[in-house]
Amino acid sequence: MDLGILKWTNFASDPEIFAEMPSPREYSAIVYDQRDRRLIIHGGWNNGWFDDIRTLGVSKIVGPSYAVTHADPALG
């Protein structure tokens, strides 16, 4: 039985390969674009406020449906 050629893969967290990868951040505004099946992320904080917009196509992600049904604390 031939299993093919095994090889290492690169992950998107490798900045030498993915030079235009967005910086890590928190406090971003995120919305889901149902028509194009993508997340749209605006701004955020990481030792300074970002004022950028990034998109992430999620149409090829396979798994159960996800939904946020509760946030704790409700404010903040």
Sequence ranges of the domains in the chain: 25-59
Q: What is the pTM of this model?
A: 0.59
**Each residue's pLDDT tens digit, 13-65:** 666 777 777 888 999 999 989 898 888 999 999 999 999 998 888 888 777 77
Q: Which pLDDT belongs to residue 27? A: 94
Q: Which pLDDT belongs to residue 71? A: 79
The values of phi and psi at residue 53, to 5°, are -125, 130
Alpha-carbon distance of 66 to 47, in angstroms, equals 30
Q: DSSP secondary-structure letter at 36?
A: T
Q: Which pLDDT belongs to residue 13? A: 65
Higher pLDDT, 45 or 66: 45
Alpha-carbon distance of 25 to 28, in angstroms, equals 7
Residue 38 forms beta bridges with which residues?
Answer: 33, 57
